[in-house]
Amino acid sequence: MKNRKRKAWGKPDASDDMTAAKDLHENQPTHHHERRFGKQWSMFRVPEHIRKVDEKAYNPRVVSIGPLHWGRQELRPMEPQKLRLYKRLMKQIGDEDREVALQTAIKKLEGRARSCYSEEFKQIDSNQFIQMMVLDGCFIVELMRLYHKSNQQFEYVEEPIFATRWMLPNITRDLLMLENQLPFFVLKQIYELTTSGEEENSLNKLALLFFEPLGPQKGEYSEIKLQDERQHHHLLCLFHSSFVPSDYHPRRSRRTRWNRHDNFPGKFWLQEVRILRKCGVKFKRNTGNLLNIEFEDRELRIPTLFVDDCTGPLLRNLVAYEQCNAFAAPYFTCYAIFLNSIIDVPEDIEILQDAGIIVQSEAMDEAVVNLVNSLTKELVFDLHDMNDCYIAKQIEDINAFCRSWTSKCIYQLSRIDFVSLGFSFLPSFK
């Protein structure tokens, strides 16, 4: 058995930024995961009011997947690459009957696939739609297989995409855009029809390993996450699910709401980092899941966030996915609001950097502040509803501590300039 190694690639006003709207999950059924595959759209064009905050974050750079960006002139250079991987996959199958079966199977899925998109695409006829699904789906499946051979099994892959430094990271980034998705059941059908008897891994696992280097923590998935065999709408949905906190259980009472005057001391949920520190809160780097934020014994433990060129687009598409799908729990929306609550100026970033919570490549502190503060612009989310906030208890505990007598004493002591006070007792010399 070969050793397997996974490698990685080397404040505006709240009323203007976020719309306090009714809870998007008001009518969400108790059996959330059982009902989320009913009659609904799962692939959307990002709403214009969200898109205008950062247009580039939602447009693929090098490859078009699915109908939303189909035919875009600047993405056509990748079409021959898709075709080459398709031919490579068909050559490996070496079975004309199975190739015909693949076309037939996707044709049967056309109506179901079209219904997953929020637009009708009447300009794309049936034959074009089927060919697009087959070509794009085979490209994705074969790319993930080749990546697994190269990165997990240390096999040399003779493929131009892997011979460049820029292409694979950009393709991976594009495959996690909300507007650049295929229905997962189409990918799964292609995967199953092109699978040989030697295949060891599920499509879910191959996909998660493929996207692992793009994760904002630059770490590895736990084996539990890699064993995920659940249904998902598309690849972005699968990636989103890999961050779900394991110990989070949504509150079901609709009466649980915060009062802004009593509960929100800052612009959103909490005071900023520099103020929290003066109040006695200590910042520590947490391990594990990016969303695992904990507060205990005055320690606010937050997992490390690596900030690079991919971080903004990735977080924006995860939040956009939550905004467009009422059955997607708003974990990243809450995470974005949490970051925006505690980060306001470069000094807040510096404190988090010292604690190992923020690690950035080339971005200046001011740029990171701007990124964090822009993540919540134009979002629809009820800030006062505790049911959809997965860190509601942590927020309550932090604010309760900051209201305590101990915290107030620490805060008053932090305001005393002990150096100046000491000099004031020294005798003056003439």
* 142 and 281 co-located in one domain: no
Q: Which domain holds residue 267?
A: 261-414
Q: How confident is the prediction for the chain on average, in pLDDT?
A: 84
* 218 and 267 co-located in one domain: no
* 148 and 232 co-located in one domain: yes
* 49 and 197 co-located in one domain: yes
Total domain count for the chain? 2
Q: Is the separation of the CB atoms in 89 and 141 below 8 Å?
A: yes
* 346 and 290 co-located in one domain: yes
* 231 and 284 co-located in one domain: no
Q: What value does the mean pLDDT take over residues 373-402?
A: 90
- Assess if residue 108 is contained within a domain: yes
Return the ∠ at Cα 241 (arms to 383 and 254), rounded to 5°.
Answer: 35
pLDDT of residue 216: 87
Q: How many Å apart are CA 368 and CA 307, to the nearest integer?
A: 8
- Give the chain's largest Cα–Cα span: 103
Task: Provide, rounded to the nearest whole percent, the portion of the chain with pLDDT above 90.
Answer: 59
pLDDT of residue 32: 46
* 315 and 217 co-located in one domain: no
Q: Is the separation of the CB atoms in 331 and 244 below 8 Å?
A: yes
40: Cβ–Cβ under 8 A, 6 or more apart, which residues?
325, 327
Predicted confidence (pLDDT) at residue 35 exceeds the cutoff of 70:
no
- Assess if residue 202 is contained within a domain: yes
pLDDT of residue 252: 55
Alpha-helix residue ranges (DSSP H) falling in 227-364: 235-241, 260-263, 273-278, 311-324, 331-342, 346-354
* 225 and 283 co-located in one domain: no
Q: How many Å apart are CA 285 and CA 304, to the nearest integer?
A: 6
* 198 and 312 co-located in one domain: no
pLDDT of residue 250: 60
* 163 and 269 co-located in one domain: no
- What are the angstrom distances between the C-alpha of 198 and each of 187, 192, 201? 19, 12, 9
Lowest mean pLDDT segment, chosen from 4-18, 288-302, 355-369: 4-18
365 DSSP 8-state letter: H
- Dihedral of CA atoms 330, 336, 340, 345 in degrees, nearest 10, equals 180
Q: What value does the mean pLDDT take over residues 211-233?
A: 82
- Assess if residue 383 is contained within a domain: yes
* 198 and 303 co-located in one domain: no
- Assess if residue 249 is contained within a domain: no
Lowest mean pLDDT segment, chosen from 181-195, 302-316, 342-356, 398-412: 398-412
pLDDT of residue 27: 35
The model's confidence at residue 135, banded by pLDDT at 50, 70 and 90, is very high
Predicted confidence (pLDDT) at residue 4 exceeds the cutoff of 50:
no
* 341 and 225 co-located in one domain: no
Q: How many Å apart are CA 287 and CA 292, to the nearest integer?
A: 8
pLDDT of residue 351: 96
Across the strands, what pairs with 117? 43
3-state class (DSSP) for residue 257: strand
